[in-house]
A and B are shown apart, each in its own frame.
Chain A
Amino acid sequence: MSALRMPRVATVQFKSFRTKGWGRIAFLVVTSVLMLVPMYLLIVSAFKSQQDILQHPFSLAPDQLTTEYLRKAATNPDFNILKGYAVTILFVVSVNVLSVALAGPVSYVIARRSERRYRMLLLLFVAGTFIPSQVLVIPVVYTLKFLGLMGTIPGFVLFETTLTLPFSIFLYAGYIMTIPASLDEAAAVDGAGKHRVFWSIVFPLMKPAVVTMVILNTFSVWNDFVNPQIILGPGSGLYTVTTGVYAAVSQYSTDYTVVFPTLLLAVAPLLVVFVLLQRHVISGLTAGATKG
């Protein structure tokens, strides 16, 4: 489907559109510097004193650098970043597993059945992509309270999983339609049940679509702020990386020896993933952007 095809990054050259020569390179170098300056400041300032940050923000004198503040941020009593990582990774894994476990089978049914009601079902799910989650979370608070799940891990994971369903089902159903049905029919003749056919025959072939969704879900759960802030709230004592950053940074927003090291610790894991898997991450996140 288009969502999978669109983000593929350019490999074909259009000579006529390349502003040739050094002008183009120079312009791009200047832009790159502008793009990277905040990241440079973030990294360098995490190792400097307040006075040094404000007076010589760009300087990089090795004898002035210290890991003291970074260590302090890692053991901040307001927000234990290691626990924050653990909690967030738990959420990321649970949402990814639950999302594929729920969206996979339903997408399979939608892709293989031609009855009208399954097309309506797909439309219903896809309509969910149009609801902004920042606004949806307000009534969800009361649904979760009714179910006794407000402020709990299952409540949060279930809501976060729901948010992944519309686009997953859209993507998976479209992808399964490109897998020949003769494959699963052959397996069915051999006596395998529907669940088995899906998980052992179709699912392994859906890998590209699943990878896209896992990347997208991983980044959106890791970076989500509103939903954990409201559903888990400060009362639960459960901080994700982002709600923890909010708790730790908003109080001391001008003590940069707290701000920069905390922010650096918060973004470091995702930046490492991005550097390692850049092409996958770029296409996954761009596919997500097109869901609107």
Chain B
Amino acid sequence: MRARLTTLSMVGPALVLFVVMLVVPVCLSLYLSLTDWDGYSANPAFVGLKNYVNLTHSAEAIRAGWVTLLIAAVGTVLLSVFGLGFALLVNGASRLNAFFRIVLFYPHVLSALVVGFLWSAVLGTSGVVNGWLTSKGAEVLPFLSDPKWALASLIAVLVWAGFGVNVVLYLAGLQTVSKDLLEAARIDGASKRQTFFNVTLPALAPVVTVNLVLSLVTLLKTYDLVVSLTGGGPAGSTQTAAYLILWDSFHNNALGFGSAQSVVLMVITAGLALTVARLRARADRGVQA
């Protein structure tokens, strides 16, 4: 009996907090997504799947969905290409390489909010770059004021701020490539290119997959940077799913509709994250084999 109480006292506090602050809220979201709640009325009406049906008709939500997917897809490819490319370039124990790794990584230390404000001061219509262009008599560039440019700028800043992590992950992966195989390839007279495509890349396959899915999951949640870099504009062209969800929930008082969007985003991210977990388990086994 006493042993059970001891176990309970070790498990209880964490479990209670976890249930109250995470399990209950997630269930609440599921429930709210089936209602028309506005955030304050006493009796939200049960509307079934109406919010989900509306989601498929809402031009704004569909655009935010596409914007999010575009950011996630393009961003993921760039993060992985830059990640692997630079990992190959800074792989090695020299002090210079250590310095380069730190320089590539440091933006990740900064909050996304600060990164966004910093870049908007650099790229904005009256920002540093355009101020400098104007003083040289050149045309102003619409980095953040044209919908297409703004989306491209957003992705570029996301990549600038994030690819250092991918570099570190790929560097870790590179250490697992069999040195014997590399040596064998060299003795057999394989070119660097052949060695890379026939030895290194196949050995890195699990790391590549993990990188891709991790970047995808992270980018699907993009929020802070949108707030500080573009504010979702111009004309809503850079609103991501997370941005629209918070906007609908708190500014439009459409809690039910916002919750339905949250549930969809949660299901998509959770599905992808589960895929990562499974792939990583497989990758770990691959490393041990």
Residues in A lying within 8 Å of B, measured CB to CB:
2, 5-14, 16-19, 24-25, 27-28, 31-32, 35-36, 38-39, 41-42, 45, 53-57, 102-103, 105-106, 108-109, 113, 121, 124-125, 127-132, 134-136, 138-140, 142-143, 147, 158-159, 161-162, 165-166, 169, 193-195, 198, 219, 222-226, 230, 241-242, 245-246, 249-250, 253-254, 256, 259-260, 263, 266-267, 270-271, 274, 278, 281-283, 285-286, 289-290, 292
Contacts and interface: CB of A to CB of B under 8 A. Distances in A.
A9 B89 contact: no
A242 B169 CA distance: 28
B110 A134 contact: no
Which interface residue of B114, B119, B179 has the most chain A CB atoms within 10 A?
Answer: B114
Contact of A249 (B107, B117, B266): B117
B138 to A, nearest CB: 13
Interface string B115-151: 0011111101010110110110000000000000000
Contacts of A195: 6, 9-10
Interface residues of B, number: 109
Nearest to B128: A57
B11 to A, nearest CB: 5
Given A17-B91, A106-B15, A108-B10, A131 B22 contact: yes
A187 to B, nearest CB: 14
A281 B107 CA distance: 12
Contact of A253 (B20, B107, B120, B195): B120
A134 B14 contact: no
A289 to B, nearest CB: 5
B258 interface: yes
Contact of A289 (B24, B122, B169, B270): B169
B104 interface: yes
19 contacts: A17-B88, A18-B91, A35-B160, A42-B118, A45-B128, A108-B10, A131-B22, A132-B269, A135-B245, A139-B259, A143-B20, A162-B17, A162-B21, A169-B14, A198-B10, A224-B111, A249-B117, A250-B228, A289-B165
Contact of B106 (A35, A193, A219, A289): A35
Contacts of B41: none
A165 B273 contact: no
Contacts of A54: 126, 128, 131-132, 134-135
A100 B280 CA distance: 26
Contact of A219 (B7, B11, B109, B132): B109
Given A13-B92, A17-B200, A135 B242 contact: yes
Contact of A9 (B120, B171, B223, B262): B171
Contacts of B29: 135-136, 138-139
Nearest to A99: B14
Given A10-B97, A135-B245, A254-B124, 12 more contacts: A14-B177, A57-B129, A128-B18, A132-B269, A135-B29, A140-B21, A143-B25, A147-B20, A158-B17, A165-B17, A223-B112, A256-B121
Given A32-B103, A267-B114, A136 B26 contact: yes
Contact of A292 (B18, B110, B120, B277): B277
Contact of B174 (A10, A222, A242, A292): A10
Nearest to B182: A16
B70 interface: no
A28 B109 CA distance: 20
Contact of A132 (B21, B213, B266): B266
Interface string B65-99: 00000000000000000000010111111001110
